[in-house]
Copies of this chain bind each other. A is one copy, B any other.
Amino acid sequence: MKSYSTMKKHYKEDPWRIIEEGFYPEMQKSSESIFSLGNGRMGQRANFEENYSGPTLQGNYVAGVYYPDKTRVGWWKNGYPEYFAKVLNAANWIGIVPILKDEELDLAKCEVSNFRRELNMKEGYLSRSFEATMQNGVSIKVEAIRFLSMVDDETAAIRYKVTPLNYSGKVKFRCFIDGDIINQDSNYDEKFWSEVEKETENDEAYLTLKTKKLDFHVCTGQKVYAYKNGERVSFDSNQLERRKYVENLVTIPAEEGDELVVYKYAVNVASINHSKRELKSRAEEAVYMSAEKGFDQMFENHKAAWARKWEMNDITIEGDVAAQQAIRFNIFQLNQTYTGEDPKLNIGPKGFTGEKYGGGTYWDTEAYCLPFYMLTAGSHVAKNLLLYRYRQLDKAIENAQKLGFDKGAALYPMVTMNGEECHNEWEITFEEIHRNGAIAFAIYNYINHTGDESYLKEGGLEVLIAISRFWAQRVNWSTHREKYVMLGVTGPNEYENNVNNNWYTNYIARWTLTYTIEAIAKVKDDANFWSDFSAKTNFDVAGETQLWNKIVEQIYFPKKENSNLFLQQDGFLDKVDITVKELDPSQRPINQKWSWDRILRSIFIKQADVLQGMYFFEKDFSEEVIRENFDYYEPRTVHESSLSPCVHVVLASKLGMEEKAYEMYLRTARLDLDDYNHEADEGLHITSMAGTWMAVVEGFGGKRITDGRLSFNPSIPKGWESYSFNLVYRESIIRITVNSENIELRNLSDGEIEILVYGKAYAVKGKLNISR
C-alpha cells in the first residue's frame, strides 16, 4: 500500500483542524483556497486582511451573482453560447491594514516568523497569527480570527489584534471596502463592477456596486470597533472615498506591548435577495444588528449552528488522522457551499473558493452531490435540486432547438446559471451530452432512495420524456453496422473529443429510454394526469415509445472481441497501450505538460468513463465483468479530474481491492489538501468532495438501495480502527459504525427499519450489533 507518509504534506494532521505552520509565500494561493470560508450565501478565500503584494488570488463571492462574460473571438464556432457566466469576485470586505510609522503591513515585504494559520472545521472559523518585522524596523504581533456566520448568512466578523513589539506611537488601521477588484477569469481583462453609491461615516462605511451586465447590485458594509488592552477606545476616523472604495481609518495611540484590537462587522447584501432600493438600508440594519450582538455572541451562535450540522453530517474515522481530517475537510467545505435552503442556488464545482468553472451548475450536481445532500440533509434538499432542473426544462428544449433538434427534445446545458448554456468550449457545449443522462439518472436515484414516486407527476416524467426525445433524435441508424450509433460525442473522459459510440453515453442513453418507458407505466393509469400530461407534452406514447424500444434493442456498444471489455469508444484499441505506471512522473499531470493533441490521442483517461457507467448501473453487470473493466481502465486513468477517484473507491471496495480503494480514497479525500493535481491555487474541488463522501458511504460502507431497502456491505481499510456515519433514509436516521470485528447499526429514529447487511436482513430498532 502506498504509504500516505511518503506523500507531500504541507498541512499538519489533526482530526478537526487544518493547520499551517510557517510562512510559505509559494503556497499562499493554494492556502487561500484551502482555508476558504463560506456559509452557503457567500464565500471568502483566505486572503489576508492586510496588504499582500505577493502572489494572491483575491476572492469574495456572493451566491447567485454572476457575470455573462462575452466569449466571441476569432475562432468562433457556429452555435456557441454568447457568454460564459463567471462567478464574480465582489468587493473586498476583509481589508484591515495596520500602519505603523507610515509603513503599511505587507507580509511580502516583512520578515515573518511564527506564522500559523488554522481552519477550525468543528466551529467554522479561520485564525491566523504571526510576528512581522517591517522594513522600517517596527515589529508587531498579529492575531486575527474571522468567520462567515452560519446563522445570519449575510454577515461576517473579524477580530484583528495587533501588538507592537518594539514601538510606541500611533497605530493606524486602514479598514476598507474595495470594489476596484479584478476577476482573474475575465476573458477580456474587463472589470465587471461599476459603482452605484457609497457612504462613509466615522466608524462605518457602505459601498454599493452593480455588475455591468445583468444589473446585479451588491451592497457591502462595515462597522469598525477598536479596543486597547480590553478597553473600548473611541477614535476619530479619517474617512476616505475614492472610486469604488470606502475606508475608515482608525488611529490609536499605543505603547510597546499594548494589545490593539479592531473588530470589523461586515455584510454583503445582494439584489437577488432584496429589492435594490432597500439594499443600503438592509446592509445598515444587518451591520447594526451584528455590532449590537457583538463578536462573541455572534461567534457562539455560529459555532452552535456548526455543531448541529456536524451532528448529522460527521463521518468519524478512528486510527487514521489523515483520513479523518480529510473527510471532515470535504464535509466542511460542502456545508460551506450549499445549504439546500434557497431553491435559486445550486453547487458550483469550486463553490466559493475560486473563479474556475464560473460557479455554474454542472452534471456534478446530479452525479456526485445529490446523494450527499439527499442522505444527510434529507429529501427536500434533493428535491430542490431536481426542481432546479425542472424549472429550466423550457430552456433546455430551446437549447436543443438551437442545435437542430425538435419536437420537445431537451438538451440540458453543460453549465448554466439560469438554464441557458454558458460553457465556452465546443467540445463540451455541443458534445458532452452525457450530462443529459445524469439529469435523468438523478430522478431515478431520488425516487429509488426516497420512494417518492409522486415526483414523476410533479415534473420528473416531463424531464425524462424530453431527454428521451433528445436521445432518440441524437442516435442514427448505421446501415453499415445495422445498429443505432451515436456519433461525435465527448464522454466524461474529457481527454477524448468528438468520438463515436462512447460506451458510457450510449449506455446512459439506452438506460434513459428504458427508465422513461417504465416511468410512463407507473403514471399512465392516472387518466386525468395522463391526458393533461400527454396534451401538454404533445406526447405520442405509442409511436414514440415504439421507436425508443427499437433503439433500446439495437443500439451499438463497442466491445473487445472475445472478452468482457467494453471499449470507451470506437477505435480505442488502436491507441498505444501503456499504463500510467509507465509514464515518466515528470510528465504529470499531463494536462499541464502535454499539448492537447497528444493528450487526445493518448490512451490516458482523465476520469472514469466506462467505470462511471458501471458505477451508476452496477446491477446490470456481474462482478466478473466489472472486475475485467476495472483492471483494464484503472491503470490507464490519470485521475486528472477530481471526479474520478471516488468512483474507483466504490468499485474497488465492491471488488475487494482494499489497497486500491484506500489509495483512491486518499486521492479523493486529500485531493486539495495534498494538491495531487497541482491546481489547489485555483480553488477547491467542491463537487468532488461529495464524491469523497460517497467513497466512504458507498465504498467502504458498501451502502446500496436493494429492492427498496437500505443495505450495507462494509469493509474497513487496514489502518483504520473504526468509522461511522449517519444516513437519512426515508423516515429514519441510521447511524452505522464499522470496526474490524463488528458493525453497529443504530436507528436514531422511532420505529423499526429493515436493513440488509452483507445481504442478510435485520430489523433495526435502537442499537444492533452484527459481527463481521
Question: Which A residues form the contact surface with B (CB < 8 A)?
Answer: 69, 71, 73-75, 77-80, 84, 185, 187-188, 402-404, 424-426, 430-431, 476-481, 485, 487-488, 497-501, 570-571, 573-577, 591-601
The docked-state distance in angstroms from the alpha carbon of A77 to that of B573 is 25
Which residues on B sit within 8 Å (CB–CB) of A498? 497-499, 600
* Pairs of residues from A and B, 7 with the lowest C-beta to C-beta distance, nearest first: A79-B595, A430-B597, A488-B601, A480-B573, A77-B596, A487-B601, A478-B574
CB pair B476–A598 under 8 Å, yes or no, is no
Also in contact, A404 and B595, with CB within 8 A (given A571-B571, A573-B478) = yes
Which residues on B sit within 8 Å (CB–CB) of A402? 595
CB pair A185–B592 under 8 Å, yes or no, is no
A284, chain B: closest CB distance, angstroms: 37
Also in contact, A424 and B74, with CB within 8 A (given A478-B573, A498-B498, A570-B571) = yes
A482, chain B: closest CB distance, angstroms: 11
CB pair A596–B480 under 8 Å, yes or no, is no
Instruction: Output the nearest chain B residue to A188 by Cβ-Cβ distance.
Output: B188
Task: Tell which of B404, B426, B594 touches A78, judged by Cβ atoms closer than 8 Å.
Answer: B594
A242, chain B: closest CB distance, angstroms: 27
Instruction: Output the nearest chain B residue to A599 by Cβ-Cβ distance.
Output: B78
CB pair B84–A596 under 8 Å, yes or no, is no
A11, chain B: closest CB distance, angstroms: 29
CB pair B574–A500 under 8 Å, yes or no, is yes
Majority-rule SS of A interface residues: loop
Which residues on B sit within 8 Å (CB–CB) of A478? 573-575
Also in contact, A574 and B75, with CB within 8 A (given A596-B426, A600-B498) = no
Task: Tell which of B74, B77, B476 touches A575, judged by Cβ atoms closer than 8 Å.
Answer: B476
The docked-state distance in angstroms from the alpha carbon of A278 to that of B143 is 65
The docked-state distance in angstroms from the alpha carbon of A599 to that of B78 is 10
Which residues on B sit within 8 Å (CB–CB) of A571? 487, 500, 570-571
Task: Tell which of B188, B501, B576, B592 touches A476, judged by Cβ atoms closer than 8 Å.
Answer: B576
Which residues on B sit within 8 Å (CB–CB) of A593? 78
CB pair A594–B404 under 8 Å, yes or no, is yes
CB pair A425–B185 under 8 Å, yes or no, is no
CB pair B597–A426 under 8 Å, yes or no, is yes
Which residues on B sit within 8 Å (CB–CB) of A481? 574
Which residues on B sit within 8 Å (CB–CB) of A576? 476-477
CB pair B79–A487 under 8 Å, yes or no, is no
Which residues on B sit within 8 Å (CB–CB) of A426? 596-597
Task: Tell which of B187, B404, B476, B488 touches A74, judged by Cβ atoms closer than 8 Å.
Answer: B187
Instruction: Output the nearest chain B residue to A402 by Cβ-Cβ distance.
Output: B595
Which residues on B sit within 8 Å (CB–CB) of A570? 570-571
Also in contact, A597 and B73, with CB within 8 A (given A481-B574, A500-B571) = no
CB pair B73–A598 under 8 Å, yes or no, is no
A611, chain B: closest CB distance, angstroms: 21
Instruction: Output the nearest chain B residue to A69 by Cβ-Cβ distance.
Output: B74
The docked-state distance in angstroms from the alpha carbon of A402 to that of B478 is 39
Task: Tell which of B430, B500, B591, B598 touches A404, judged by Cβ atoms closer than 8 Å.
Answer: B598
Task: Tell which of B75, B404, B476 touches A424, judged by Cβ atoms closer than 8 Å.
Answer: B75
The docked-state distance in angstroms from the alpha carbon of A487 to that of B495 is 13
The docked-state distance in angstroms from the alpha carbon of A78 to that of B494 is 14
Instruction: Output the nearest chain B residue to A601 by Cβ-Cβ distance.
Output: B488
Which residues on B sit within 8 Å (CB–CB) of A424? 73-75
Q: 17 A–B contact pairs at CB < 8 A?
A: A69-B74, A73-B187, A74-B424, A78-B591, A78-B592, A78-B594, A78-B595, A78-B596, A426-B597, A430-B597, A485-B574, A487-B574, A487-B575, A488-B597, A498-B600, A500-B574, A570-B570
CB pair A185–B480 under 8 Å, yes or no, is no
A478, chain B: closest CB distance, angstroms: 4
Which residues on B sit within 8 Å (CB–CB) of A84? 74-75
Instruction: Output the nearest chain B residue to A79 by Cβ-Cβ distance.
Output: B595
A451, chain B: closest CB distance, angstroms: 38
CB pair A574–B78 under 8 Å, yes or no, is no
The docked-state distance in angstroms from the alpha carbon of A430 to that of B73 is 19
Instruction: Output the nearest chain B residue to A474 by Cβ-Cβ distance.
Output: B601
The docked-state distance in angstroms from the alpha carbon of A77 to that of B80 is 17
Which residues on B sit within 8 Å (CB–CB) of A75? 71, 84, 424-425
A85, chain B: closest CB distance, angstroms: 11
Which residues on B sit within 8 Å (CB–CB) of A600? 488, 498
Instruction: Output the nearest chain B residue to A426 by Cβ-Cβ distance.
Output: B596
Instruction: Output the nearest chain B residue to A598 by Cβ-Cβ distance.
Output: B404
A505, chain B: closest CB distance, angstroms: 13
Which residues on B sit within 8 Å (CB–CB) of A431? 597
Given A74-B84, A430-B596, A497-B497, 19 other A-B contacts at CB below 8 A?
A77-B595, A79-B595, A79-B596, A80-B596, A188-B188, A403-B595, A403-B597, A430-B595, A476-B575, A478-B573, A478-B574, A479-B577, A485-B574, A487-B574, A487-B601, A497-B498, A498-B498, A498-B600, A570-B571
Which residues on B sit within 8 Å (CB–CB) of A596? 77-80, 426, 430
Which residues on B sit within 8 Å (CB–CB) of A479? 573, 577
A155, chain B: closest CB distance, angstroms: 32
Q: Which has the most chain B C-beta neighbours within 10 Å: A425, A480, A577, A596?
A: A596
Instruction: Output the nearest chain B residue to A600 by Cβ-Cβ distance.
Output: B488
The docked-state distance in angstroms from the alpha carbon of A487 to that of B188 is 34
Q: Which has the most chain B C-beta neighbours within 10 Å: A497, A574, A597, A600?
A: A597
A556, chain B: closest CB distance, angstroms: 9
Instruction: Output the nearest chain B residue to A595 by Cβ-Cβ distance.
Output: B79
Task: Tell which of B71, B480, B575 touches A73, judged by Cβ atoms closer than 8 Å.
Answer: B71
The docked-state distance in angstroms from the alpha carbon of A160 to that of B71 is 43
CB pair A594–B487 under 8 Å, yes or no, is no
Which residues on B sit within 8 Å (CB–CB) of A573? 478-480
A404, chain B: closest CB distance, angstroms: 5
The docked-state distance in angstroms from the alpha carbon of A501 to that of B487 is 16
The docked-state distance in angstroms from the alpha carbon of A488 to that of B478 is 22
A414, chain B: closest CB distance, angstroms: 12
A698, chain B: closest CB distance, angstroms: 33
The docked-state distance in angstroms from the alpha carbon of A488 to that of B572 is 11
Also in contact, A74 and B592, with CB within 8 A (given A478-B574, A573-B478) = no
A89, chain B: closest CB distance, angstroms: 14
The docked-state distance in angstroms from the alpha carbon of A594 to that of B426 is 13
Instruction: Output the nearest chain B residue to A476 by Cβ-Cβ distance.
Output: B576
A95, chain B: closest CB distance, angstroms: 28
The docked-state distance in angstroms from the alpha carbon of A606 to that of B293 is 70
Q: Which has the most chain B C-beta neighbours within 10 Å: A488, A573, A591, A600?
A: A488
The docked-state distance in angstroms from the alpha carbon of A120 to that of B105 is 73
Instruction: Output the nearest chain B residue to A479 by Cβ-Cβ distance.
Output: B577
Which residues on B sit within 8 Å (CB–CB) of A476? 574-576, 601
A432, chain B: closest CB distance, angstroms: 10
Also in contact, A597 and B500, with CB within 8 A (given A73-B71, A571-B487) = no
A302, chain B: closest CB distance, angstroms: 35
The docked-state distance in angstroms from the alpha carbon of A434 to that of B233 is 76
Which residues on B sit within 8 Å (CB–CB) of A425? 75
A570, chain B: closest CB distance, angstroms: 6
Which residues on B sit within 8 Å (CB–CB) of A71? 73-75
The docked-state distance in angstroms from the alpha carbon of A522 to that of B469 is 63
